[in-house]
Amino acid sequence: MLNIKPLLLLHNFMSLFRKKSIETILKNAETESEHGSLAKHLGVRDLTAFGIAAIIGAGIFSTIGKASADGGPAVIFLFLFTAIACSFAAFAYAEFASLIPVSGSAYTYSYVAFGELFAWIIGWALIMEYAIGNVTVAISWSDYFTSLINNATPYQVNEWLCLDYFTAKENYEKVFGYLIAGVPFDEIKANIQTSGLVEGFLAYGHAPQLFGMHIVFDLPALIINVLITMLVYRGIKESRNASNIMVLIKIIVVLLVIFVGAFYIDTKNWNPFAPNGIGGLLKGISAVFFAYIGFDAISTTAEECRNPQRDLPRGILYSIVICTVLYVAIALVITGMVNYSELAVGDPLAFVFEKIKSLSWLSGIIAVSAVVAMASVMLVFQLGQPRIWMSMSRDGLLPPAFSKIHPKYKTPSFSTIITGLLVAIPIFFVDMSMVTDICSAGTLFAFCLVCGGVLKLRMDPNAPPSKFKTPYINSKFIVPALFVLSIVLMCIYQKSTVDYYLKWESLNSFFIKLPVYFFIIGFAIFSGMAFKYSFSLIPSLGLLCCFYMLSQLGYKNWIYFGIWLIIGLVIYFLYGRKHSKLAPKNN
């Protein structure tokens, strides 16, 4: 008698990779009449503005300071490398967006290229980019806003109303320990190593208590989250108009900073150009990459574009080019105005102009523009997440409520509210640096799969033609040559680094090195595949660059990201797999 159990197991396993055809996706997007359709108001200028709104935010007003302090003036190379890597990925996004002009972004692209399981993983990872990433932006917005209120008005925001609970408690315990050890409080405030703990100490110490628990939370971050959620809920036209105005304001201010600051550059501050070497430069990789994430959010607005197949690729690529020029110029200006070692502050642009008394007036303008800039980033991210959930819900992987379109405002109303809640809750508990690194990990993973998806579609002779196609350059010999050249150069110029990775020290050090091992092995395997299948060079370089940056984020971020994916997989197997539109009818 035939044992069908192995066949059933094989069938169940293969069903994890069931794919949706492009024709089916486009047809489903057109026939979602029971939920209503999205309003089409966006052109290439609006999409480019959305891209600039997403990219110029926390990166240029906040994280650029820490990256510059670690890497010195050479941080411009990190911005250029990251921009090139993102541009390679942007070509892949543009090609997919032209081929599949629907709201699902990388989630939908992966559904076509790799199947349902990978699509779910990407959809879950994008929650980290958009919803969780907005936690960082909200906190950074709060920092600038409270600084502006405290310095420019007679009012003061209480410390316990602008910090998360756990950071405040941890800082309180550290400062209290110093005080017990006999270190004077004034000395703690004056010491650059401990001065950053004072705000948390005061916040926790002055906070009111409820049932013995200190009440500490970031009120401004919560307020901006509510306001942005309400705007996104109200409609794409209103969101577009607000975004365009905010983008215009912050570009004017950034150009003003570059023009005025250029006259106060002291070239001595550029020497040494890379004071901490490659190691110091790479410390800022997550901060610099975080500065660029968001351009892909443009693709989530595909169903609200008037001509998505023409305008989406242009909007994505235009925004990256414009923002890269601005980032490099700003980095050169601020590292030329002050020594790089002084830039490890939360508001580096305002800081450098406060150092020059005759330009202190400009620091106030920068603070105002930073508040506007952070709000525009939140706006674009808050637009992106609900539209991905809407696409996942249309496919049955999430409950039907997530794809509900508001009858009047023509927005995914329920998904927008849930996104607002998903941003609001972590604001109470998490600090900005942790969220930045985890968010970058999720985004880089998505970029890798989108680039890989383009390569896979290129191998399919039945794939429909795209109106925008990445220029084809055969990587058959180029990618393997790059692998060999990288190994040779590392052995010659970075011998100490090679010795470090080859040396066995402990199990803990092995785990620390593991992401780099994965990259080297993956690079070697991919080189062989590129030689065999003659992959297109641009998406190949996009995949490799993003994989490399992912390997530099540190093993703890890989662990956090892995835990996040496990939670997502549990939800998929409990709900999504059974309710998928592609699931057999008898499931």
Residue 290 sits at the vertex; the CA angle it makes with 92 and 509, to the nearest 5 degrees, is 100
Pull the structure tokens for residue 183.
């270190």
Secondary structure in 3-state letters for 261-310: HHCCCCHHHHCCCCCCHHHHHHHCHHHHHHHHCCHHHHHHHHHHECCHHH
What pLDDT is attached to residue 534? 92
For range 17-37, the mean pLDDT = 67
Task: Please report the pLDDT score of residue 585 as a whole number.
Answer: 59
Q: What pLDDT does 102 receive?
A: 77
- To which H or E segment does residue 209 belong? strand 209-210
193-236: pLDDT as tens digits: 777 788 888 888 888 888 878 888 888 989 999 999 998 888 77
Is the CB of residue 235 less than 8 Å from the CB of residue 411? Answer: yes
pLDDT of res. 277: 76
Please report the pLDDT score of residue 5 as a whole number: 57
Nearest to 51 by CA among 243, 202, 332: 243
pLDDT band at residue 1 using 50, 70 and 90 as cut-offs? very low
State the pTM of this model. Answer: 0.80
> Which residues, other chains included, contact 218 with Cβ-Cβ below 8 Å and sequence gap of 6+?
138, 139, 142, 161, 162, 163, 164, 427, 428
* Nearest by Cα to 371 from 148, 132, 546, 51: 148
Residue 165 scores a pLDDT above 90 = no
**How much is the pLDDT for 34?**
47
Q: How many CB atoms lie within 10 A of CB 269?
A: 17
Q: What is the reported pLDDT for 541?
A: 92
Q: Supply the pLDDT for residue 372.
A: 83
| Average pLDDT taken over every residue of the chain | 81
Strand partners, 214: 209
Q: How confident is the model at residue 524 (pLDDT cuts 50, 70, 90)?
A: very high
pLDDT band at 11, cuts 50/70/90? low
Token pair belonging to 204: 């926790």
Q: What is the pLDDT of residue 33?
A: 43
Residue 106 pLDDT greater than 50, yes or no? yes
Kindly list the domain boundaries of the chain, sorted by start residue.
44-153+222-457, 165-216, 478-579
Q: DSSP letters along 371-391, please? A: HHHHHHHHHHHHHHHHHHHHH
What is residue 474's DSSP assignment? B
Alpha carbon 67 to its chain centroid, in Å, reads: 16
Per-residue confidence at 379, pLDDT binned at 50, 70, 90? confident
* Most confidently predicted of 13-27, 28-42, 321-335, 520-534: 520-534
Q: List the beta bridge partners of residue 210.
A: 213
In sequence order, the β-bridge partners of residue 536 are: 474
How far out from the chain centre does Cα 170 lie?
27
Alpha-carbon separation of residue 302 from 89, 117, 369, 572 (angstroms): 18, 23, 29, 26
d(CA 468, CA 465): 9
Q: Is the pLDDT of residue 32 over 60?
A: no
Q: Is the pLDDT of residue 571 over 70?
A: yes
CA distances from 199 to 107, 202, 203, 465, 490 (A): 41, 5, 6, 57, 44
The pLDDT of residue 300: 78
Tokens linked to 152: 């420019």
Residues 6+ apart with CB under 8 A from 24: none
- In 303-338, which positions are buried (b, 16+ CB within 10 angstroms) versus exposed (e)? bbbeebbbbbbbbbbbbbebbbebbbbbbbbbbbbb
Residue 35, Cβ density class (10 Å: 0-12 exposed, 13-18 middle, ≥19 buried): middle
Q: Each residue of 468-482: pLDDT tens digit?
A: 778 889 999 999 999
Query: What percent of the chain is modeled with pLDDT above 70?
Result: 91
Please, what's the largest Cα pairwise distance for the chain?
Answer: 91
Q: What is the number of other CB atoms lying within 10 angstroms of the CB of residue 261?
A: 22
Q: Determine the Cα–Cα distance for residues 59 and 370; give it in Å rounded to an integer.
A: 11
Cis peptide before 73 (omega within 30 of 0): no
In this predicted structure, what is the pLDDT of residue 195?
74
| 8 Å CB contact between 514 and 555 | yes
With H, G, I as helix, E, B as strand and everything else as coil, classify residue 330.
helix
Alpha helical stretches, state H, 153-193 = 165-180, 185-190
| pLDDT for position 382 | 87
- Region 176-184: what's the mean pLDDT? 86
One of 1.20.1740.10, 3.40.50.10490, 3.90.10.10, 1.10.10.10 is the CATH number of 44-153+222-457, namely 1.20.1740.10
What amino acid is encoded at 280 in this protein? G
Task: Kindly tell me if the per-residue pLDDT of 12 is higher than 70.
Answer: no
Question: Is the model more confident about 33 or about 247?
Answer: 247
Residues in a beta bridge with 305: 42
Confidence grade of residue 243 (pLDDT, cut at 50, 70, 90): confident
Q: How many CB atoms lie within 10 A of CB 187?
A: 11
Q: Is the pLDDT reported for residue 553 higher than 90?
A: no
Alpha-carbon distances of 340 from 73, 301, 518, rounded to whole Å: 7, 39, 33
Among the listed residues 389, 505, 484, the one whose alpha carbon sits nearest the alpha carbon of residue 131: 389
pLDDT at 521 over 90: yes
Distance CA 122, CA 104 (A): 10
DSSP 496-511: HHHHHHHS---HHHHH
Quick one: CA torsion of 258, 81, 92, 387, rounded to 10 degrees? -60
pLDDT tens track for 390-430: 888 988 899 999 988 888 888 888 999 999 998 888 887 76
Tokens of 142: 């709060």
How far apart CA 484 and CA 528 sit, in angstroms, is 12
pLDDT in tens, 427-471: 877 666 666 667 778 888 888 888 998 898 888 777 777 777 788
Q: Find the range with the poorest average confidence among 30-44, 263-277, 393-407, 539-553.
A: 30-44
Q: Which residue has the higher pLDDT, 90 or 465?
A: 90
Q: For residue 435, what pLDDT is reported?
A: 66
Q: Are 558 and 453 in contact (CB under 8 A)?
A: no
Tokens matching residue 551:
């390997």
Structure confidence at residue 433 (pLDDT): 61
- Give residue 15's pLDDT band: very low, low, confident or very high (50, 70, 90): low
Nearest to 128 by CA among 480, 439, 495, 459: 439
- How many alpha carbons lie under 13 Å from residue 124 in its C-beta half-sphere? 21
pLDDT of residue 492: 81
Q: Using alpha carbons only, give the angle 445, 449, 452 rounded to the nearest 5 degrees.
A: 140
